[in-house]
Amino acid sequence: MQSRHGLGGKIWRAMPFSRWHPAIWLRRRMPKGLFARALMIIITPMVLLQSVIAYTFMERHWQTVTQRLSAALTQDIAALIEMRSLVPPGVNTERLEELALRKMGLDVDFLPLEPLPQALPKPFFEILDESLSTELRRQVARPFFIDTVGKSNLVEIRIQLDDAVMRVLARRSQAYASNSHIFLVWMVGTSLILIVIATLFLRNQIRPVLRLADAAEDFGKGRDIDFKPRGASEVRRAGIAFLDMKRRIERVIDQRTTMLNGVSHDLRTVLTRFKLSLALMDDSPELEDLKRDVDEMSRMLEAYLAFARGDTGESAVPTDIRGLLEDLRANAEREGHKTSLKIAGDPVVSVRPDAFRRLMINLVSNAARFGDRIEILAEHDDRHLSITVDDDGPGIPEDKRADVFRPFHRLDEARNQDSGGSGLGLTIVRDIARAHGGEVRLDVSPLGGLRAVVRIPA
């Protein structure tokens, strides 16, 4: 978006709005897991509620009680000052100090007249100092000094009189609500206990969902699953629906396989008759062409049936792929192709052995059909198995790479019909990779030809 308003008619480009939108920024930083999100739904209202309660308590209850206690303490001090003013000069004030200690709980001393200490900053007792200072200014109206830090459980107050300095030591509980922290401790402690209990219950509710997700993932990879619906009623319904879907898919696959086996038997019977009839005929150039056509038809029939039937009935088992890849490399070299093989990581992978063999045979055969040099790289980590097959052939244009995965599709240029094949090689590769829960992609090879990369979960 552009705007032409500005100095000198310059064109100012507006910054992308979506990148800095608060909703998008918040969405990117929110947890992605169901357990974390559900836990946040529980904790966030609890924290907000406690914050509101704590603020209201501190603002209303604690501060109000502190002000009233400070006012009561200041009234006692003001009364003692009035009583001190009634004592004639030179008379001992011990009885007044005893009365203050016995009736008011205050330790009062009358010290010689001297300057008051300088006030120090007291950030942790600002509310107490402010309340006491306000009441002393209002009721006593004399110079004073307050020390709420020096002694842990006492508050020291010094007031400058006409002929002496009155020092008052009072318990901290007489000046402010000292037990307020008990409320906060109980509130926070109870909340932590409730959060722990909620986390345990929530984990038990999330576990059936995770089991359902694992079962669906294993089923997509062709693995045997042992799943029983558990948990809340909604999760049980989802689990039962998954099992029903699994049974329907398996029934459809079984029906298709049975039908294809019947078709295969019938077509093979007809092809056998063709071969028998051709064997009884006299040799001629036309007869040789017919035999080649029958053989080509047999190969195409096997390819079509393999594509349609797939290997869905096969289970995934731990398989050492090193031997398979070594055989493929040796076969390619016997056919005159310079082939290299590199395996990184553990060669034992959980795959469907026959399907995986067909996948690799199709990939290597495709590379050998169009190139002279082949490089095979297998990388296995904790999460994925990646297999890369490079060749130095003509490659496939970028705009036609998606088309080669369509059944029976052939390219008319670099990889043409003269090279043979049924047009199902890469289609079978992609179907087998997806049956393992993975995917296949095509790219430009460093050798100048085509790079095929298969990535499946390990």
Q: What is the pLDDT of residue 377?
A: 93
Flag whether 261 is in a domain: yes
SS3 (DSSP) at 410: coil
pLDDT of residue 11: 40
Which of 166, 156, 168 lies closest to 113 in space, CA to CA?
A: 166
Whether the Cβ atoms of residue 458 and residue 350 lie closer than 8 Å to each other: yes
Contact 164, 113 (CB under 8 A): yes
- pLDDT for 453: 93
CA distance 55 to 61: 10
Residues 358 and 413 in one domain: yes
48 is a domain residue:
no
- Collapsing DSSP to helix, strand or coil, 121 comes out as coil
Instruction: Please report the pLDDT score of residue 417 as a whole number.
Output: 42
Q: Are 321 and 409 within one domain? A: yes
CA 12 to chain centre: 39
- Does residue 358 share a domain with residue 272? no
CA angle 396–402–403, rounded 5-degree value: 80
Answer yes or no: do 452 and 338 share one domain: yes
Q: Does 114 map to a domain? A: yes
**Residue 243 and residue 375 in one domain:** no
Report the CATH number that the domain containing residue 251 is assigned in CATH.
1.10.287.130
CATH of the domain at 428: 3.30.565.10
Whether residues 303 and 425 share a domain: the answer is no
Same domain, 243 and 338: no
Look at residues 273, 290, 309 and tell me which one is the last residue of a structural domain: 309
In terms of DSSP H, where are the helices of 221-343? 233-280, 285-309, 321-334
Structure tokens at 8: 């000198």
Same domain, 168 and 273: no
Residue 227 is classified by DSSP as -
Do the beta carbons of residue 314 and residue 223 sit within 8 Å?
no
**Cα atoms in the 13 Å half-sphere on the side-chain side of 83:** 18
| Residue 255 belongs to some domain of the structure | yes
pLDDT (tens place) for every residue of the chain, 458 residues total: 344 344 444 443 444 445 566 777 767 777 777 778 888 888 888 888 888 887 777 667 777 777 888 888 888 888 888 888 887 776 677 888 888 888 888 888 888 888 888 776 655 556 567 778 888 888 888 888 888 776 667 888 888 888 888 888 888 778 776 666 677 788 888 888 888 888 888 888 888 888 998 888 878 766 778 888 888 888 899 999 999 998 998 888 777 777 777 777 777 788 888 888 888 887 777 787 788 778 877 777 776 666 665 555 567 788 888 988 999 999 889 888 899 999 998 888 888 888 888 889 888 988 888 888 999 999 998 888 999 999 998 888 888 888 788 776 666 444 444 444 556 678 888 888 888 888 899 999 999 899 999 998 87
- 399 with 447, same domain? yes
Q: Which of 181, 213, 229 is the last residue of a domain?
A: 181
Q: Is 282 exposed, middle or buried (0-12, 13-18, 19+ CB in 10 A)?
A: exposed
> How many domains does one find in the chain?
3
pLDDT at 411: 63
Question: Would you say residue 214 lies in a domain?
Answer: no
For the chain, helix (H) and strand (E) counts, in that order, are 11, 13
Are 364 and 389 in contact by the 8 Å Cβ rule? The answer is yes
Cα 165 from Cα 383, distance rounded (Å):
80
**3-class SS of residue 271:** helix
Which domain CATH number covers 105? Answer: 3.30.450.300
Query: Tokens for 33?
Result: 């897991």
318 SS3 class: strand
Q: For residues 417 and 410, is the Cβ–Cβ distance under 8 A? A: yes
Domain of residue 149 covers: 55-181
DSSP string, 41-67: HHHHHHHHHHHHHHHHIIIIIIHHHHH
221, part of any domain: no
Q: Is residue 195 part of a domain?
A: no
Structural contact between residues 165 and 159, judged by C-beta atoms closer than 8 angstroms: yes
Q: Residues 317, 406: one domain?
A: yes
Tell me if 426 is assigned to some domain: yes
Alpha-carbon torsion angle 433, 438, 444, 447, nearest 10: -70
Nearest Cα to 422, choosing from 434, 432, 435, 408? 408
- Boundary (domain end) residue, out of 289, 309, 329: 309
Same domain, 319 and 372: yes
- 433 and 362: one domain? yes
